[in-house]
Structure 1
Amino acid sequence: MPTTTATAEEKLAQLRQLVLNARSMPMSASCVINRGEVLDAIDDVVAHLPDEIAGAQEVIDEKQSAIAEGEARAGRIVEEAREQATELARQSEVVKVAEEIAAKVRADAEAEAEALRHETDVFIDSRMASFESVLHKTTSQVHTARARLAERSGLDAARPRPNAG
């Protein structure tokens, strides 16, 4: 039986093992599985999938917070650069130097914020791809299990199939 600390992917692997280890029917590709065990395993995956999604949301929130902090820091750096530029403008000899420094600080801050944004997007995309893969595997395995049950027990004739969507 899957544990509550296992990831959805691990739970799906355990569910797969239940099906793989099921007793084979003689002269058939069909097998006998304990419906209760399989349904419990599926329910466990479904029940804990939101926990993993919530964990991913926490990571996304942390990355967005880091971006906001980076942008705030960039704003402070830009403001400091403006203040420095104003001070240097008072000293007529170094006005040009101050403008160059301010522009570089601004460009560096914007580049840093953009790099943080890109890094976060790459991380979020990889996590979402992982979740998409887990969901696809789950759907595929549930579909296969249901098809086998339907073949064995004639379940499709007894009730209408829900739309796959």
Structure 2
Amino acid sequence: MTQDTRGQSVVEILDELLALVDNARSIPMSASVMINQSEVRDLLQLARDAVPDQVLRADDVLADIDSVRASGRQEAASIIASARQDAENIVAEARAQASRLVSNDAITIAARSTAARIEDEAKQKAERLREGANHYSDSTLATLEGQVNGVAAALEEAVRAAHEKMDAALAQIYAGREVLASRQETTDAVFDHSEEE
């Protein structure tokens, strides 16, 4: 090989393998070429060795995404819990205030009306807090879902491209070897016939 291929990705190694086939000397009167078996084997071995590392890196990316998703869910749960606690505190304060108002018999009717109004306002505020927390949680999870789908599609496309390039290279190699084997059989037959004469 003309350069150090260690550390290259599978796609880069396959590109070099295809370049090796494209630049190889053609065999006259055929679509086959002559290539260095050792170079091809070395490149194929490097590609095979590189695949597990890339799969592990892909697993790490997915693990990071899962971690971000879990963090988003935890944050959303924390926001919802905080909103619920705030709502409960508001309602409790409203009830306490209502209790203080109705303790005076002279203003019982007014106190009850005020207490009901305060409690209704507290419930409305609590509902708004809950809806806001739910919206934030749903938006965060939707964003994470889009990121996960994007990474999965990119990984699937990379694996598909690598398989296509490897299949193309192997097809050319096998075709070349078959032509060489056929010509060797023809040459041997000619030599055998000459010796018999």
TM-score calculated relative to the size of structure 2 = 0.50
The answer to whether the 8 Å contact 1:85/1:98 transfers is yes
Aligned to 1:64: 77
* Structure 2: tracts of 5 or more residues without a match: 1-9, 23-46, 169-197
Which one has the bigger helix percentage? Answer: 2
| TM-score, length basis structure 1 | 0.57
Matches of 1:119 and 1:19, distance apart in 2: 46
CA–CA separation in structure 2 for the residues paired with 1:115 and 1:35: 57
Distance 1:112 1:19 in 2: 57
Question: Does 2:87 correspond to 1:74?
Answer: yes
Larger relative CO (CA 8 A, sep 6+): 1 or 2?
2
Q: Which consecutive unaligned segments of at least 5 residues does structure 1 have?
A: 1-17, 28-33, 156-165
Report the alpha carbon displacement of residue 142 of structure 1 after superposing the two structures with TM.
Answer: 2.5
- What's the RMSD between the two structures over aligned residues? 3.7
Q: How does 1:3-152 map to 2 (within 5 A)?
A: 23=15, 40-152=53-165
Q: What percent identity do the matched residue pairs reach?
A: 25
Q: How far apart are the structure 2 equivalents of 1:35 and 1:125?
A: 42
Secondary structure at 2:132 match in 1: helix
Number of paired residues?
A: 135
Q: Is the 8 A contact 1:70 1:112 kept in 2?
A: no
Seen in structure 2, the aligned counterparts of structure 1 residues 122 and 110 have a Cα distance that, compared at 3 Å, is same
The structural deviation recorded for 1:97 is: 2.8
- Offset, 1:140: 1.9
Measure, in 1, the Cα distance between the counterparts of 2:118 and 2:48: 65
AA aligned opposite 2:119: R
Describe the shift of the 1:122–1:101 C-alpha distance in structure 2 as closer, same or farther (beyond 3 A). same
